[in-house]
Structure 1
């Protein structure tokens, strides 16, 4: 026993000495070369976060989401391009290691891996693997990058299935998610009220190609601390849908003080959605809420709320408001033929239809748009801007790939609706139908945005998917 204590004390002394020597060493290196000092600081902070993720994989799950969301802001602060994918992969792998060492959660054994959602995910992964032998495919590097990003989503889903083992964990997630969205909305409002911060202006000036859609005729599209304005708009729209549905809860389920907080957050989210200039988000709101209205048509308050919502929508579209660039952009979202950008997208879709019919297996992953220029220059699809997730899927992975992507959305929404009817608690029901409405809106947004492959929106979709899958089997048992 004494020897053991001596060994422990010796280890503690050695660690303390190492730490004491490390501080002046890092300080000296930082003083001689700023980049080396910054790199060492990032490495030390990264290792510390990695250890936290291993020790507590549930906390690591939330750290991964938070850091992934604020990484674009940190990149702008640094004034240089940062390998964000490496940081995300490292954090997620540390979290996965923690999940494996802790042996996850026992309730994951209830999840049937023959579930339609998981079957579709498996089929999609096999399609991606088989793309390497596609005769129309481009470079091996493009295939590897796409597969790596997809694996990140699969690992994130697996960890999520281990994180949510009861409804309290689900409540905690939605509180966190809406709080994160509120922070993003508030930061976007600050950008609108005070203008972009100096480091943001400098970054846009240094990398103008990354912000090609930020400056438009109606003004500046704001992006908060996220990667771009489209991502912000889609997430704001989904959160507004969820919070509006939660506002219909009775007072004994959600008390007045919490409803006031929800109302304040809805106002911030709505302003941020308008400042983002994301027309897709404007269309998502009524279509997403339609799911809630259909599920609750037997309630008088639902019909009254629908009438009020329609009245407000008509006032915005046809009211005498002509000076606001935000309202003008909202109107062009619903009266699209008056906007030339919509007509350009329609013409592009018609132009590429012959390629779809001639290549039923697709042209290979990462061959469209800017990724096509980067990884497969000279490919027929290179630099073709799809502006449509389903179109990108059918062009890159063929008709089967597009059907599987649509199937993932369909079965996820179906699971949410089934949970809605199975759950007994009013709060559980509202969260389930809120998630169903948000995912349905995201599925609609795929027609105008590549929602499924955007980093932040992908995190939203796969975290919601993990919640819905776990609730389904928790409620069944």
Structure 2
């Protein structure tokens, strides 16, 4: 029988030559890796225990992966400005694959509700991704590598996200958690934006501006705030999206006063973030989002009030010069000017694209326009013709067929969701949670004509998740009614 007291522990192991030389070898290898790979390799080595623990958590509790994706979805691009050479965007893909792999292995031991994903929304996501696969054989496509990078935000993330909402993240408490993560990170984004506006950008952000982004983010000596997002356009649209969702959530919040105040803060800061971004097209998010909300309420007085407010906004920006001295208001006002030079340039580009695409019904290939086009095929016509708009980008890359398919999918989802909220759902609490989602979705759809925001981080994953929850409306209502019935029964038993 072994004597525990005779065993060697701790520092005594260092007396063994094989242990000492083994540790020396490992440290030498790590030193060599850091010396060759630089700071990024060093950070990678330090992060390895955290990464291994996180991967374990995903396999043990796959929902952890979804939460991680939501958080990284907000901060990945901002981090890349500080840590060069780390493909954080691809880590989102890796997490999706790990979640599906974890579900596959869990199938051997637990019942996974794969059947929950058998619905029209998942079918539409699959059809849209199927069309992206067709683009691989598009004879006009100049780069398959560009296709790989660009198709992720265009269609792959929708295919990844929507089924997971139905299979893993399908409960009311999951949606409530998403709202809280979204609100916290949106508040932080606006605070970061306020810091940029008040104190200026830091050295890393200045390097990003110096790399060619100053031309679009420093106008007449004023910074268009971009926070830790990809650019000011995305920041403005994302914060407008948050403003609509959280102000409407606050209006419907009845159970918790603290949560109501929290959502009001997130909503107001979101709208302020939109204003300081200087993004003219993003104003469509609150305008169209709040307009749809008045319709969803099915109250004539509210619709009239909404119409009056909308007309007031139009009159303020288009027909007055009030607050013209404020650079933010002055820039927003140009969005209502049909003779604005920027608008005329966009229309001229669209006329050129119309001529180019007349004989190309499949477009020029995914990844052929915008930043991916400039990176991989800078010599092509599409790479050197600004699309500016999400829909124009879809049209340029995937042709008139792709544009009509995309619009059909978006309007099908919107129409079905609006119909369900207006005529099928009865539970006010669930309607109060889903109405902000569809209003935010509609606002982003409208803003995507002026900017390429719909599929970009963090908006894309939030929109795809919103689609999933909107199609879960009746299930969420049944779940909530069952919870309320149980609470009433328990209360009645306590009163006896």
Q: TM-score, normalised by structure 1?
A: 0.85
Tell me the equivalent position of 2:200: 195
Aligned position for 2:72: 67
Maintained 8 Å contact 2:241/2:270: no
1:226-279 deviations in whole A, cap 9, x for unaligned? Answer: 2221111111111111223234337xx254443333332232112211111111
Q: How does 1:270-281 map to 2 (within 5 A)?
A: 270-281=271-282
Q: How many angstroms apart in 1 are the aligned matches of 2:267 and 2:310?
A: 14
Distance 1:145 1:319 in 2: 44
Determine which of 329, 332, 346 is the counterpart of 1:330.
332
Query: Are the equivalent residues in 2 in contact too, given 1:30–1:38 (CA < 8 A)?
Result: no
Contact conserved, 1:420 with 1:430, CA < 8 A, in 2?
no
Map 1:246-265 → 2, pairs under 5 A:
246-249=249-252, 253-265=254-266
Larger Rg: 2
Q: 121-130 or 465-474: which moved more?
A: 465-474
Partner of 2:435: 433
Structure 2 match to 1:29: 31
400-409 vs 94-103, greater mean Cα deviation: 94-103
What is the deviation of 1:106?
A: 5.1
Query: 1:331: Cα distance to partner?
Result: 0.8
Aligned pairs (5 A) from 1:53-202: 53-78=58-83, 80-103=84-107, 109-113=115-119, 115=120, 117-149=121-153, 150-202=155-207
Distance (Å, rounded) in 2 between the aligned partners of 1:168 and 1:37: 39
Residues 263 and 139 from structure 1, CA distance in 2 versus in 1: closer, same or farther, beyond 3 angstroms?
closer
Q: CA deviation at 1:429?
A: 0.8
- Partners in 2 of 1:23 and 1:475 — Cα distance? 60
1:327 and 1:27 map into 2 onto residues whose CA distance is 58
Paired positions, count:
455
2:270 and 2:102 map into 1 onto residues whose CA distance is 34
Q: CA deviation at 1:475?
A: 4.6
Residue of structure 2 equivalent to 1:283: 284
C-alpha change, 1:32 and 1:459, in structure 2 (3 Å) is closer
Deviation (angstroms), 1:94: 2.1
Q: Distance in 2 between matches of 1:109 and 1:22?
A: 53
**CA offsets per residue over residues 351-395 of structure 1, 9 Å max, x none?**
221122221121222112332233334433232111122222222
C-alpha displacement of 1:326: 0.7
**In structure 1, C-alpha distance between the alignment counterparts of 2:28 and 2:69, rounded to whole Å:** 26
Any conservation in 1 of the 2:157–2:461 contact (CA below 8 Å)?
no
Q: Matched residues in 2 for 1:218 and 1:342: separation?
A: 21
Alignment check: 8 A CA contact 1:288 1:441 kept: yes
- Cα deviation per residue 1:15-73 (whole Å; 9 max; x = unaligned)? xx99x959983997399735242231244433332222222211210111212321222
Task: Give the conservation status (yes or no) of the 8 Å contact 1:419–1:432.
Answer: no
Question: 1:182 touches 1:269 (CA, 8 Å); kept in 2?
Answer: yes
Contact 2:62 2:102 in 1 (8 A): yes
Question: What residue is the counterpart of 1:48 in the other structure?
Answer: 53
Aligned counterparts of 1:126 and 1:401: Cα–Cα separation in 2: 11
Partner of 2:376: 375
Please give the secondary structure, in 2, of the residue aligned with 1:451: coil
Measure, in 2, the Cα distance between the counterparts of 1:457 and 1:22: 48
What RMSD over aligned residues (CA atoms) do the two structures have, in Å? 3.2
Q: 1:30 to 1:285 in 2, by over 3 A?
A: farther
Partner in structure 1 of residue 293 of structure 2: 292
Tell me what 1:245 maps to. 248
Q: 2:196–2:225: 8 Å Cα contact kept in structure 1?
A: yes
Q: Deviations over 1:284-308 (max 9, x none)?
A: 2111211111122426456446545
Contact 1:283–1:333 (Cα < 8 Å) also in 2: no
* Unmatched tracts of structure 2, length 5 or more: 2-8, 14-18, 480-496
Which residue number in structure 2 is paired with residue 408 of structure 1? Answer: 409
- Tell whether the 8 Å contact from 1:229 to 1:276 is kept in structure 2 after alignment: yes
TM-score, normalised with respect to structure 2: 0.82
CA distance in 1 between counterparts of 2:47 and 2:212 reads 27
- 2: CA distance, partners of 1:88 / 1:243: 25
Between the aligned partners of 2:359 and 2:33, the Cα distance in structure 1 is 61
Cα–Cα, structure 1 residues 321 and 473, in superposed 2: closer, same or farther, change >3 Å? same
Q: Deviations over 1:194-248 (max 9, x none)?
A: 222333224433xx13554222236111111222211111111111112232343
The residue number in structure 1 matching 2:386 is: 385
In structure 2, the residue matched to 1:5 is none
Tell whether 2:227 aligns with 1:224.
yes
Cα deviation for residue 451 of structure 1 reads: 2.4
- Cα 1:434–1:99 shift into 2, 3 Å: same
